């Protein structure tokens, strides 16, 4: 067991024939993911990386039975790609693309919710179920199967945690990068709820950052309410000055809302152990599991 | 992308949102002529920061002669690091009451939100804290947009029922301006109710989504004018850079990782001079480019590079560091923490060049803080 993604998942790649799509599809397959085809409008009927290419997501789903899609299309077209996947009723949509206009995302997200699909991202590294399957760009070699679930807003910081845990002998169930944009699909709250109900996950590491209040909501509404599993938290951007935008469109603090302090306090109050460094996160996870 | 007040007001005017009549002046002569044409005016410094009034950047002139003196005062002033090169001269508005109308992103609801308050003029955050009943919100359906009945609910919710006839079309115009321009913050504050009951946008803010600039190529914003020179240089180099107030230059890949590196520097007793994210898959030339930028900053006493190789390759980063050190004759202390893809190859290159890489980010932060304080 694990959450969202398993070796049974049948994965489609939107933007398969592009540079990013090609590179990461090869890595995903090397990891063991069952990639069933790709979508590149105008290239339907051809093959790429020995995979069938379709003009539309609907045609791809019909031919392949895909139930997950990874989106690697350029930002101006990505919101449309998300909606196309939702319209084709793909249950899990993972959008890696960075830099999607926010007005587009507000609309696309509302559409996805209405269609009943789940969206991860955008501007995220995707997700990995260690030893089973991966959709996205998380490096292959750092993952190791085990009992710790990871949910994170950052990309490289997620890799740090995964690698640190693996090197310490602590494996992961599923690692989910929910993305750094202001308008996201799945939130901490939703992913934590999935981890709560997953028997294979014994503890959860939550990597948050300044901006928004998803961490606070997850702390109050999930972790504090009989979560039943240890949660180890970490918040980056503690020293970022207010009002400065730190690369992620999301990482901006306004007023008291969304500060590192407010997140640390909310998580601590909910019973999570909040660490100051990634090394401490790894040590805490190790202590929890062994 | 942000805009100066006069640029915002030009956009408002085009969108049908009433604004005071005004003219831009770059010299006292131009301000004098503006007062001659408009009568009593406010002379307002055009800088992309708040707090102009307190800094003395807004003056009232009753006559053209006064306008000349006032403009001489304001032009050339420095407000929060920005030199005033232009003043906006506009007709004085007889304000009976100040309201607030704004649109921004509500991250938690994943929607745009329209905000209307019966108390404008001051910081909307303070009003929200002290008089929450004075603030009404509307999250329009992103596909349908706000409907008149919803806007009326917003208006009655803010206790502004008597102004509904004038407010409904104004809210509609603000929303459609935001949609048209990909505005992620559009504010009218204060929204002035004049003595005769009309509505005028006395001041305004506009921020257009940088991700959407590709479809608004005609837009000219404020940023190039008064920006921090290092941030402007970073933009020319296509680097994601934010200037901070410390002495340790920081380079890393990934926003979360770099933010964490800033935190680690502070935990070790130092202060970062900047945030610099070289992103995923950076090649040697990007690293070179980033180091060159930090070398321009006279405050920097040492540089910390923190790389997690996912798509980014350790050997590429090492090559960039070594070349940049050689080309720039870089004498500053430099500490590199590198892990992930091609870590071993990168380390070997660095060690051969006399840079000993650190294994953990914490150790690297400790070392650079120590080296920089020694220099």
* In chain A, domain spans: 11-120, 138-289
Question: Cα A122 from chain centroid?
Answer: 9
pLDDT at position B209: 93
The minimal CB distance from A156 to the residues B242, B275, B308 is found for B308
Residue from A228, A161, A235 nearest A193 by CA: A228
Tens digits of per-residue pLDDT, A116-147? 999 999 999 999 999 999 999 999 999 999 99
Residue B196's pLDDT band, with cuts at 50, 70 and 90, is confident
Flag whether pLDDT at A115 surpasses 60. Answer: yes
DSSP state of B291: H
Mean pLDDT lowest among A176-190, A211-225, B215-229, B255-269 = B215-229
For B290, residues 6+ apart whose C-beta sits below 8 A from its C-beta are B237, B239, B251, B276, B278
Residue A114's pLDDT band, with cuts at 50, 70 and 90, is very high
- Compute the distance between CA of residue B239 and CA of residue B171 in angstroms, rounded to an integer: 37
pLDDT at position B132: 76
Instruction: Please tell me which residue of chain B has the smallest CA distance to A211.
Output: B107
Tens digits of per-residue pLDDT, A77-113? 999 999 999 999 999 999 999 999 999 999 999 999 9
pLDDT at position B341: 78
Residue A257's pLDDT band, with cuts at 50, 70 and 90, is low
The topology under which CATH files domain B21-91 is: Dna Ligase; domain 1 (3.30.1490)
Instruction: Please tell me which residue of chain A has the smallest CA distance to B113.
Output: A106
- Compute the distance between CA of residue A65 and CA of residue A59 in angstroms, rounded to an integer: 10
Mean pLDDT lowest among A44-48, A272-276, B226-230 = B226-230
User: CA-based angle B64:B70:B76, to the nearest 5?
Assistant: 130
Measure B198 CA to nearest chain A CA, in Å: 31
- Compute the distance between CA of residue B93 and CA of residue B41 in angstroms, rounded to an integer: 9
Instruction: Test A158 with B339 for CB contact under 8 angstroms.
Output: no
By the 10 Å C-beta count (0-12 exposed, 13-18 middle, 19+ buried), B137 is classed as: middle
The listed CATH number (3.40.50.261, 3.60.9.10, 2.40.37.10, 1.10.1200.10) that belongs to domain A138-289: 3.40.50.261
The topology under which CATH files domain B229-374 is: Rossmann fold (3.40.50)
pLDDT at position B217: 87
The minimal CB distance from A239 to the residues B125, B143, B263 is found for B263
Question: Cα B309 from chain centroid?
Answer: 30
Task: Give A-chain residues touching B110 at CB under 8 angstroms.
Answer: 106, 109-110, 183-184
**B138 phi and psi, to 5 degrees?**
-140, 125
CB B233 within 8 A of CB B296: yes
pLDDT at position A246: 58
H-assigned helices in B64-123: 64-74
- The mean of the pLDDT values for chain A is 93
Residue B98's CB is within 10 A of a number of other CB atoms, namely 18
| pLDDT mean over B327-350 | 90
- Compute the distance between CA of residue B178 and CA of residue A186 in angstroms, rounded to an integer: 26
DSSP-assigned beta bridge partners for residue A50:
none
Flag whether pLDDT at B8 surpasses 50. Answer: yes
- Compute the distance between CA of residue A136 and CA of residue B313 in angstroms, rounded to an integer: 18
pLDDT at position A242: 67
Higher pLDDT, B119 or A229: A229
| Mutate which: A137, A239, A257, vs B, most B CBs within 10 A | A239
| pLDDT mean over B313-321 | 90
Question: Cα A43 from chain centroid?
Answer: 29
Question: Cα A211 from chain centroid?
Answer: 17
**A99 phi and psi, to 5 degrees?**
90, 25
Flag whether pLDDT at B319 surpasses 50. Answer: yes
Tens digits of per-residue pLDDT, B133-147? 778 999 999 999 999
- Compute the distance between CA of residue A174 and CA of residue A127 in angstroms, rounded to an integer: 7
Instruction: Test A111 with B182 for CB contact under 8 angstroms.
Output: no
| pLDDT mean over B301-326 | 90
pLDDT at position A251: 52
Distance linking the first and last C-alpha atoms of chain A: 20
Domain residue ranges in chain B: 21-91, 95-215, 229-374
| Mutate which: B135, B178, B251, B260, vs A, most A CBs within 10 A | B260
Share of chain B above pLDDT 90, in %: 69
Distance linking the first and last C-alpha atoms of chain B: 39
Residue B127's pLDDT band, with cuts at 50, 70 and 90, is confident
Residue A238's pLDDT band, with cuts at 50, 70 and 90, is confident
- The mean of the pLDDT values for chain B is 91
Residue B122's pLDDT band, with cuts at 50, 70 and 90, is low
pLDDT at position B168: 98
CB A148 within 8 A of CB A166: no
| Mutate which: A83, A162, A167, A247, vs B, most B CBs within 10 A | A247
Instruction: Test A249 with B211 for CB contact under 8 angstroms.
Output: yes
- Compute the distance between CA of residue B60 and CA of residue B47 in angstroms, rounded to an integer: 18
Would the CATH topology of A11-120 be identical to that of A138-289? yes
H/E segment holding residue A259 = none
Flag whether pLDDT at B345 surpasses 60. Answer: yes
Instruction: Please tell me which residue of chain B has the smallest CA distance to A186.
Output: B110
Question: Cα A192 from chain centroid?
Answer: 12
- Compute the distance between CA of residue B35 and CA of residue B262 in angstroms, rounded to an integer: 50
The minimal CB distance from A101 to the residues B125, B209, B275 is found for B209
Instruction: Please tell me which residue of chain A has the smallest CA distance to B265.
Output: A239
B112 touches chain A (CB under 8 A): yes
| pLDDT mean over A56-71 | 98
Residue A255's pLDDT band, with cuts at 50, 70 and 90, is very low
pLDDT at position A245: 62
The topology under which CATH files domain A11-120 is: Rossmann fold (3.40.50)
Task: Give B-chain residues touching A212 at CB under 8 angstroms.
Answer: 107-108
How far CA A184 is from CA of A79, A98, B305, B325, in Å, comes to 12, 12, 30, 40
| pLDDT mean over B288-315 | 91
DSSP-assigned beta bridge partners for residue B82:
B79
Residue B375's pLDDT band, with cuts at 50, 70 and 90, is low
pLDDT at position A253: 47
Instruction: Please tell me which residue of chain B has the smallest CA distance to A242.
Output: B244
B253 touches chain A (CB under 8 A): yes
Instruction: Test B212 with A103 for CB contact under 8 angstroms.
Output: yes
- Compute the distance between CA of residue B372 and CA of residue B269 in angstroms, rounded to an integer: 11
The topology under which CATH files domain B95-215 is: D-amino Acid Aminotransferase; Chain A, domain 1 (3.30.470)
Instruction: Test A183 with B107 for CB contact under 8 angstroms.
Output: yes
Helix B361-374 vs helix B255-267: crossing angle, to nearest 10: 50
Flag whether pLDDT at A256 surpasses 60. Answer: no
The minimal CB distance from A106 to the residues B111, B265, B309 is found for B111
Instruction: Test B256 with A255 for CB contact under 8 angstroms.
Output: no
Tens digits of per-residue pLDDT, B157-183? 999 999 999 999 999 999 999 999 999
pLDDT at position B228: 78
Flag whether pLDDT at B351 surpasses 80. Answer: yes
Instruction: Name the residue with tokens 């179920």.
Output: A129
Q: Are strands B183-194 and B204-208 parallel, antiparallel or unpaired?
A: antiparallel
Which segments of chain B are extended strands (E)?
22-25, 41-45, 58-61, 78-79, 82-83, 87-91, 95-106, 111-117, 135-138, 183-194, 199-201, 204-208, 240-243, 248-252, 274-277, 302-309, 334-340
CB A38 within 8 A of CB A1: no
The minimal CB distance from A102 to the residues B184, B244, B308 is found for B184
Using left for φ > 0, alpha for ψ between -120 and 50, and beta otherwise, residue B254 falls in left
CB B314 within 8 A of CB B322: no
Catalytic residue positions of B, numbered: 100, 187
B186 touches chain A (CB under 8 A): no
Flag whether pLDDT at B130 surpasses 90. Answer: no
């Amino acid at each position: 067991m694990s959450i969202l993604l398993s070796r049974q998942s049948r994965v489609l790649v939107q933007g398969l024939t592009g540079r990013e799509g090609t590179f990461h599809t090869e890595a995903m397959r090397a990891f063991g993911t069952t990639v069933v085809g790709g979508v590149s409008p105008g290239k339907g009927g051809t093959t790429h990386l020995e995979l069938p290419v379709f003009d539309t997501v609907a045609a791809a789903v019909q031919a392949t039975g895909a139930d997950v899609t990874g989106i690697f299309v350029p930002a101006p077209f990505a919101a449309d790609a998300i909606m196309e996947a939702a319209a084709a009723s793909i249950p899990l949509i993972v959008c890696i693309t960075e830099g999607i206009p926010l007005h587009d995302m507000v609309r696309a997200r509302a559409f996805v919710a209405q269609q009943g699909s789940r969206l991860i991202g955008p501007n995220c590294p995707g997700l990995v179920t260690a030893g089973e399957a991966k959709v996205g760009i998380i490096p292959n070699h750092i993952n190791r199967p085990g009992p710790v679930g990871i949910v994170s807003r950052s990309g490289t910081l997620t890799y740090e945690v995964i690698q640190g845990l693996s090197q310490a002998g602590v494996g992961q169930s599923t690692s989910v990068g929910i993305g750094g944009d202001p308008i996201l699909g799945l939130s901490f709250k939703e992913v934590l709820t999935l981890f709560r109900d997953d028997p294979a996950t014994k503890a959860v590491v939550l990597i948050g950052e300044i901006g928004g209040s998803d961490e606070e909501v997850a702390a109050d509404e999930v972790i504090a309410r009989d979560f039943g599993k240890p949660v180890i938290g970490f918040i980056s951007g503690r020293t970022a000055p207010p009002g400065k935008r730190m690369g992620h469109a999301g990482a901006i603090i306004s007023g008291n809302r969304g500060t590192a302090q407010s997140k640390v306090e909310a998580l601590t109050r909910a019973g999570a152990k909040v660490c100051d460094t990634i090394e401490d996160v790894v040590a805490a996870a190790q202590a929890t599991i062994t | 992308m942000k805009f100066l007040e006069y640029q915002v007001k030009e956009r408002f005017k085009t969108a049908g949102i009433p604004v005071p009549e005004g003219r831009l002046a770059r010299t006292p002569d131009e301000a004098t002529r503006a007062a001659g044409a408009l009568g009593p005016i406010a002379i307002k410094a055009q800088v992309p920061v708040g707090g102009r009034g307190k800094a003395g950047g807004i003056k009232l002139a009753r006559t053209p002669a006064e306008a000349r003196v006032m403009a001489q005062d304001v032009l050339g002033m420095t407000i929060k690091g920005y030199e005033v090169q232009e003043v906006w001269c506009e007709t004085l508005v007889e304000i009976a009451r100040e309201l607030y109308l704004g649109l921004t992103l509500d991250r938690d609801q994943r929607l745009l939100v329209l905000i209307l308050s019966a108390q404008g003029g001051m910081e909307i955050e303070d009003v929200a804290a002290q008089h929450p009943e004075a603030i009404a919100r509307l999250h329009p359906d992103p596909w349908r947009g706000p409907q008149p009945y919803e806007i009326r609910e917003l208006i009655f919710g803010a206790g502004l029922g008597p102004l509904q006839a004038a407010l409904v079309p104004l809210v509609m115009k603000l929303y459609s301006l935001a949609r048209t321009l990909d505005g992620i913050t559009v504010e009218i504050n204060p929204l002035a109710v004049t003595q005769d009951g009309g509505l005028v946008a006395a001041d305004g803010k506009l921020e257009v989504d940088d991700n959407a600039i590709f479809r608004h190529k005609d837009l000219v914003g404020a940023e190039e004018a008064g920006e921090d020179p290092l941030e402007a240089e970073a933009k020319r180099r296509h680097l994601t850079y934010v200037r901070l107030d410390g002495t340790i230059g920081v380079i890393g890949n990934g926003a979360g990782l770099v933010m964490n590196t800033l935190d680690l520097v502070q935990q070790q007793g130092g202060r970062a001079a900047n945030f610099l994210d070289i992103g995923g898959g950076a090649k040697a030339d990007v690293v070179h480019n980033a180091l060159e930028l930090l070398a321009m900053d006279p405050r920097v006493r040492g540089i910390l590079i923190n790389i997690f190789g996912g798509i980014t390759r350790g050997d590429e980063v090492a090559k960039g560091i070594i070349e940049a050190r050689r080309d720039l004759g870089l004498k500053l202390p430099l500490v590199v923490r590198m892990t992930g893809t091609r870590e071993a190859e990168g380390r070997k290159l660095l060690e051969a060049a006399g840079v000993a890489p650190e294994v953990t980010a914490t150790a690297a932060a400790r070392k650079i803080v120590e080296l920089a304080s020694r220099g």
